[in-house]
Every structure is written in structure tokens, then in C-alpha cells.
Chain A
Amino acid sequence: MKDFAPQLPAAGCRNTPVLKERGQREVFCGLTGIIWLHRKMQDAFFLVVGSRTCAHLLQSAAGVMIFAEPRFGTAILEEKDLAGLACANEELDREVDRLLARRPDIRQLFLVGSCPSEVIKLDLHRAAERLTQRHAPHVRVLNYSGSGIETTFTEGEDACLAAMVPTLPDTDERQLLLVGALPDVVEDQALGLLRDMGVAPVRCLPAHRAAETPGIGANTVVALTQPFLNETAAFLERRGARLLSAPFPFGEEGSTAWLWTIAREFGVDADTFARVTDAPRARARKAIAAAAETLRGKSIFFFPDSQLEIPLARFLTRECGMTAVEVGAPFINKQIVGPDLDLLAEGPVIAEGQDVDLQLERCRAARPDLTVCGLGLANPLEAEGMATKWAIELVFTPVHLYEQAGDLAGLFARPLRRRALLSGLEGAA
């Protein structure tokens, strides 16, 4: 029988000693995930209980403000809320009442904890229970923490989905559950490919609407679509679901490996798999090849950002011919990114956590051809003559699966192509 599993390198990175750093971390907090989660869940509202800083972060991180009244907001704590928690709870109830009265379309409300709400120990879990009773059955109120003291960037989505897991209804049905907030176009492609292979039923978490919320149980098989869903995965397992272990669906190889893992689980034969994936695989390879011309032989350095770094390094080194110098991630869970680490050939430094000044020193010393970093570092590094790729775009752009594989490679090729185009342009930064 034909096998679609990827070829392992002589030695991978699973057992590479991890450089663990603690110091200043130049990363977003988990609140940032609200920017995409509120678009994904169309009848949900995200109410951050926090400070003016939280509101300012959401506004700045959103970059272009989404003015069509967004389904998120910040209940800004004031002096008197800090004086007594009883008062803060009353205020919160009042703000939620007012909000839900104004937005009758909202069916799920997330109370999102922040650094200040956690430091003053405002119990949002109890608040969510209290408010659920008050607004049942129309609205379900959940809570999670997106605070910087608890979560780094994409861990906010993880915390949000994890908070949903205990509320999912029980089901004994044999089903595949895709977990992670994918862009609609990607989700539709995944569902299409799986349907054509005969994998059914397939459900998604999060769902677009509360009414489509999937059930969960011992016969549920989970395929994570994002590498940062550590807590969610643990919660799903606690509900009896079984987690598939696969490389993540980035690039042609990653997408094939991910789909093949699902296919084997659901008894799809190799011929069917080939029939469904041959054409998109060929298209993906072709699209990647175009961008890989720019990327081949170039070195890359990842600052920690979204936890996508390890799967992306695997894609760029194996399918685009790049060399990874350092792959930094805010957090590494080998149980989840293990298959990607197995495929990533040994060589790069694997770093977890951050001390940004030390990491900048290593980066400057290595002079990589391309540096993947946050927006706070990108222009300063460009001004030093180093090409950069904004990490946040990797989270805000459809990059999973076959039809986006070329776009993904293109995101990395574009800064290099741009530098080449402008090589004759002189002037101080």
C-alpha cells in the first residue's frame, strides 16, 4: 500500500536541547486573539474586563480599526472598582445587562480576564456562572484569561477554546473534530477534502454560531489545526476524545501528512487519498516552487511569537530550501509539535521563552537573510539592514493547506524580493 507519510531526516530536532530564556519578552498578550476570534464566532461578544491599556492594545493590534461596531469591548476598571470587589461585580453585571440589551443578536458572551482583573482577583468564573443564570437560555456566558501574566499571544485562543470544552454536549457519535479558529476559506477547503475522502461526520471548534456547537465524547477524534492549542487538547482528552498526532498542515508536505493521519484513522485507502489530493498536491508544489526560487539557500531566524514557528521552520527548510539558524517559540509542547520537530533536520538552535536583548545580539551576530519577528522589532532591524517578516501576518492570513501553501511561501519571499527590487535606492533610514 502506498504511504503518504513524510520522509524523516537522519536526525531531527525532537531531542535537541532547548535553550530556555527568561528576560524581557517582546510579545503580545492573549487578548490579541480576540481580533480574529470575534470574526470567527459570529454571535459571540468578547468583553475584556481590564484597563485602558487593554482597550488600547486591542485598538492598536487591530491596526486598521474595524469600525462596523466590533463584537468586542473593554469594561475599563476604575478607581472605585479597585476599592471593593463587591462593587466591581455589581458594575460588571450592570455593564453586561446593558450590552446584552443593546445587542440581542449575541448568544455567547466571553468575559475575558486581563492582568489587572487577575491581580485584584476578580472571579470571572463565578461572574460567568451568575450571568449565565441571569441571561439563560438566550445567552451563555463563559470566561477565560487573555492576560499577559497568563498567556502569550495565541495562547489566548487556546484559553478561549479550552473554556468552551467543558460546556460541549456529550455525544457517542464517531466523529472527527477539527479544532482551531481557521479562516473560512481554509475551513471550507479542509471540509471539502475530507468529505471527498469519505470522512464523516466532521465538525469544527469553534463553530460559527452557538447553535452549531459540536458535541464531544469517547468516539470523538481530534485533529488540531493550530500548534498552540495545548490546554484545549488536554481538556478535550479529559472529555474522552482522542488526539491525532501529526505535523501541522502548512505546505504541501505538512498538509499531506496531516490529512493522511486523519485518512488512516478513518480507514481511507491510499487510492482514494491519492484521487482526492493528487491535483491539489501538484498545485501546491507548483505554487511553492515559484516562491522557493527566492528562498532557496537563504537563512532564517525566528523570534518567538505565535508557536507556529516550529511547523513553519519545518516547512521553510524542507519545502523551500531555507536554512534555519534559530527557531524561537514562546512555549514548546513536544507532545503537540513533536511530529514537526521530528521532521526538522538538526542544526538550528531551538529556543523557548525570551530575553529580547540577548536574542537580538544572537540575531545580529548571525546576520540571517530573513528574520521573523514582531512589529516592535521589524522596522528597527530593517533600519540595520536586515530583512524581516512580520510574524503577526502569519496568524492573520489564510496559510493552511494546499491552496494557501504558495501564499505562505510568498509571505516569506516578498520581503526578500522587495529588498532586491529596491537595491539601488539609497537614503538613510
Chain B
Amino acid sequence: MKLTVWTYEGPPHVGAMRVATGMKGLHYVLHAPQGDTYADLLFTMIERRNHRPPVSYTTFQARDLGADTANLFKTALQDAYDRFKPQALIVGSSCTAELIQDDPGGMAETMGLPVPVIPLELPSYQRKENFGTDETFFQIVKALARPMERTAHVSANLIGPTGLGFRHRDDIVEVTAMLEEMGIGVNVVAPMGATPADIARMGAAHFNVLMYPEHAEAAARWAEKTLGQPYTKVVPIGVGATRDFIAEVAALAGVPPKYDDSRLRMPWYSQSVDSTYLTGKRVFLFGDATHVKCMARMARDEMGFEVVGLGCYNREFARDIRALAKDYGVEALITDDYLEVEKAIEELAPEMILGTQMERHIGKRLGIPCAVISAPVHVQDFPARYSPVMGWEGANVIFDTLVHPLVMGLEEHLLHMFREDFEFHDEAGASHHGAAAKLRSLDEAPVAEPEPAMAAAAPAEGNIVWLSDAERELRKIPFFVRGKAKRNTEKFALEKGVTQISVETLYEAKAHYAR
């Protein structure tokens, strides 16, 4: 038993729903109690889908438990087939139905429906949503795809995009365009937009583009083995990764790596002097493994940030993320407990978080700006405008995404210079974020004594004490670098064996860490 307040991932049957809802002509009959239908609203509200997810629930109640839940399932399956006439069905249990052991797959088999019925085994008490997407897609591909003659012209399948994915809708467009520029056709995009008939002709592609390993790695491996299709290992998020991706695809397809990056503005935006202030910003990354991996590279090599910590919530990729963290000389945080993530962020006191909606809330609480780079998604992650994160346009989009939450160049300097200005003090936040500028009254003196809420008053490490002068001085440092100053000073004091931090210590530490 584990106490959970917020979760990064839903149960595995929600993963199966993401696959089913992404597809067309497929129906999911889910043996589940009344109430599990809440999952529909994830799609109709967060993603603003204009149709109900193609899911029929048996919605059994207590009175059915003593009677015949198995029959209820059979009726629901027959009704769903008669009403929706899908090309294929997937059947399975939610967490509660798993306990009553009705075996939807076995029951479906006895009914002789005229379309393929694919049983899903998703262990709800061991696995989570991403396992659900990966396993469901794998089972569908395994059941329907067969080796077949390749397309005459070189082509690829794009695999991995699902319902409720982080920017999947627009990433498909971007990746399709990149392949087209190299003269590579797209055979099938799946699960998003694919019908079971499309899945059946996946074997015609020359290779697979594995867009999201979280959702399609098992299928990619199976297709490699059974259909003889190699798959891409690079995920094209970031400028460097996009170039690597193009090279990898060109090699797989046996074509020259042609591309048109005339719309790519990200490198120049990052090189332009206006971005100098981004140098060495200390960032913490957390999200699904794929997005964290890509964004870490972008953060360090393309934005000039310093990665001070990173981690992911999907344990399936723990090994990858540990290896990545080693490269970056930091400790990997593999957890699905947001309180642990919050603790890590508090300790590292980064200047910015690249995370999920959860970290956005953590950042709000700690006063640290956050850019959202990964699922779990929120209605805000489905913008009306085109905003991929893959490819050239994706790199442009991410540059904007990472810069937006920060206090900008000159503004940062002014905050340093005139930190006690009544309407432009550090608690007012970045001036381009309209919301909650808290003006100080003109007559009101800047806060003389440190308030407990900010980093300044947080207890120091070890037995170190901040003298009140030093504490006051620390408060004059703008909030977005105060955490770093505090940590550095304490680290410096520890090393020097100093137990009382004075203004002197503060500035000695500053000189020590000067870059």
C-alpha cells in the first residue's frame, strides 16, 4: 500500500483508452464498475475531442457481483459490436474487474464475432498508464500486422502518437514533412488516426519511425523481428537531435539526408546577445524519460543552461535516465511520488524547472519558473495554434517555451540595480506575466526582516547560522538567483569550517564561485 496524493500516470487501462481513442474503427469493451467512465472526460475535456472515446464500459454494480457479471460483459460486447460495427475490438478489465477474474478475452472468444477481438492483459496493481499504451499498441500490431511486400517507393510508419499525448498532434505533421523532404513516404501513422485495416498494412513500410518509445517500443521491436523493419532510435526534439534524426533516417532509407532548415530560428535566437542572460541558468528536468532525455541535451548544448538535476516518473526507462544523469554529472531521480520531486527541487534550488504540470505547481509554490515539456497533460498542453516539439519548428517552439517563464535580460539587470523599487521589486514577478504584480506602497519600506517563506530563511545546512546582516544582504539578491547564492554560500562556509555566515562570507563565496 502506498499513499499517493497526485499521480503522474493513470492506470494501464487508461493507456489502452489512449490507443483506442487515437485510432478509428476500433472499439474497446472494458469490463469496469460504474464510475470508471470518468476517463472519458480526459479526452472530451482536456483534449477537447468532439466525439466520445470508442469505449463501452460494462459499469457493473454491487448487485451484479453476486449475479452474473460475465453475462453482463458478453451483452456489452455484443451491443458494442452491433451498434458501432468496428473493424476490430479490444477487450480487457479495469482494476476492479481484474479482481473478479471474469476473463473477457476468453469470453469474447466463445462469441464468434466476425471481426478480430484482441484480448488485453494489463496488470493494474503492478503497472501504469504508459505500460498500457505500449502493451495495447503492441497487441494490436501483433494481432493484425503481417509481413508483406514493401511499397515500391521508400516509406516509413510513424509509430507512437496516441490520444492525450504531449503535442503528438503537431509532431506528426512536423515529422511527416521532414520525411517528405527526403522523398520518403509515410505508409501508416499509428495508433493516432489509424484504423485496424491500416495496422494490417504496416508491414509495407521499409522502416518504422519510433516517435515515442514510451508508447510503441514493444511494437517497434516486434516489427523489427517479425516484419524485418528497422526502427529509429533518435527522437528529433532539439536542433542537434533533429540533425541526427535526419542522418539516421537517411541511412535507414538509403537516401541522401536532404532537409530545408530555412524556417529554423532557434540557433540564432540562442546565439543572439539578447540571450546572453540564459548562460548557466540552473535547470532541473523532470517528466517522461523521452522528453527529459531530449530536453536535457537541448538545455545544455543549445540553450547554454546548466543541468543541475534530472529524472523521470516512468520506471521502465530508469536505466536510460540513470546513464543520462551520469553523463551530466548529476544524480537521477526516478520516482512517481511528486513529494519526492518537490523535495529534490527544493534542495537543488534551480532557477528554472523543465517539467510536467505537476512541476509547474511545485514551481508556483516555490517561486521557481517552470516550462512544461512532458505529459501528464493539461488542457493548456493542447493549444489551438500549431506547436510541435519535434523538428525545426519544434526547436523554435521550445526556445519560446523555455524563455517565456523567465525574467528577461534587461529586466533582470534592473532588478539587480534597483531591487527596492516599489512596483518593480522581485516579488512582483516577470513584467510580461500580467497576473499578480504585488505593488508595494510608496511609503512602505522594503521588508526589513526576512520573511520565513523565501529561501533566505530556510534553515541552513549543518550547524551554520546566518547572521542577520548577511541574511538581509541575501534578501537583496533577486529571488531567481537567491537560492543559488544561499546554497553556494553555505557550501563555501562548510568547506571553510565557518559556522556563522556574515556579509563577508557571502561575498567571499560569491568571489569563489565567480565564473
Contact = CB atoms under 8 A, between A and B. Distances in A.
Interface of A: 23-32, 47, 49, 51-53, 55-57, 59-61, 63, 65, 67, 69-70, 72-79, 81-82, 88, 91-92, 94-95, 98-99, 115-116, 118-120, 147-150, 152, 357, 374-380, 382-383, 429
B100 interface: yes
Interface in B86-110: 94-96, 99-100
Given A29-B35, A61-B38, A149-B61, A383 B50 contact: yes
Contacts of A375: 40-41, 44-45
A44 to B, nearest CB: 16
Given A24-B57, A147-B35, A78 B99 contact: no
B1 A53 contact: no
A380 B96 contact: no
Find the residue from B1, B13, B44, B52 having the highest chain A CB count within 10 A: B1
A9 B215 CA distance: 59
B496 interface: no
B286 to A, nearest CB: 15
Interface stretch (B113-121, B123-131, B197-205, B476-484): B123-131
B365 A67 contact: yes
Nearest to A81: B1
Given A52-B95, A116-B95, A28 B38 contact: yes
Contacts of B57: 24
Contacts of A70: 5
Given A57-B38, A147-B35, 14 more contacts: A25-B59, A27-B34, A29-B35, A30-B35, A56-B14, A60-B39, A60-B42, A67-B362, A99-B3, A116-B95, A119-B65, A147-B62, A148-B59, A377-B52
Nearest to A56: B10
A29 B83 CA distance: 26
A380 B48 CA distance: 9
B33 A29 contact: yes
Find the residue from A29, A70, A81, A120 having the highest chain B CB count within 10 A: A29
B73 to A, nearest CB: 12
B150 interface: no
Contact of A376 (B37, B60, B95): B37
A148 B128 contact: no
A149 B34 contact: yes
A95 B1 CA distance: 8
Contact of B48 (A28, A56, A379): A379
Contacts of A98: 3
Interface in B1-46: 1-7, 9-11, 13-14, 33-42, 44-45
B4 A78 contact: no
A67 to B, nearest CB: 4
A95 B3 contact: yes
Given A24-B76, A55-B7, A57-B35, A379 B49 contact: yes
A148 B1 contact: no
B36 A52 contact: no
B162 interface: no
Given A53-B11, A379-B49, A65 B38 contact: no
Contact of B35 (A27, A65, A357): A27
A379 B45 contact: yes
B303 to A, nearest CB: 27
A47 B1 CA distance: 12
Contacts of A23: 59
A377 B2 CA distance: 33
Interface in B40-86: 40-42, 44-45, 48-52, 56-62, 64-65, 76, 79, 83
7 contacts: A27-B35, A51-B96, A53-B95, A60-B42, A67-B362, A148-B35, A378-B44
Nearest to A61: B38
A51 B3 CA distance: 10
A377 B44 CA distance: 8
Contacts of B94: 53
Given A31-B35, A379-B48, A383-B50, A374 B41 contact: yes
A53 B36 contact: yes
A82 B125 CA distance: 9
A77 B37 CA distance: 20
A23 B41 CA distance: 19
B300 to A, nearest CB: 29
B99 A116 contact: yes
B361 interface: yes
Contacts of B42: 60
A115 B7 CA distance: 19
B265 interface: no
B1 A59 contact: no
A30 B126 CA distance: 25
B297 to A, nearest CB: 30
Contacts of A67: 6, 361-362, 364-365
Nearest to A330: B34
Contact of B65 (A28, A53, A149, A378): A149
B295 to A, nearest CB: 23
Interface string B406-418: 0000000000000
B95 A60 contact: no
Contacts of A79: 125-126
Contact of A380 (B44, B62, B65): B44
A53 B99 contact: no
Contacts of B51: 380, 383
B96 A25 contact: no
Contacts of B96: 51, 53, 115-116, 119, 148-149
B124 A51 contact: yes
Contacts of A118: 62
Contacts of A147: 33, 35, 62
A104 B126 CA distance: 32
A69 B361 CA distance: 11
A60 B46 CA distance: 10
Nearest to B128: A52
A159 to B, nearest CB: 12
A78 B125 contact: yes
A79 B99 CA distance: 11
A77 B1 contact: yes
A78 B6 contact: no
A52 B37 contact: no
A429 B50 contact: yes
B37 A379 contact: no
B10 A75 contact: no
Nearest to A94: B1
B1 A75 contact: yes
Contacts of A53: 10-11, 13-14, 36, 94-96, 124
A283 B9 CA distance: 48
A52 B364 contact: no
A24 B56 contact: yes
A113 B444 CA distance: 53
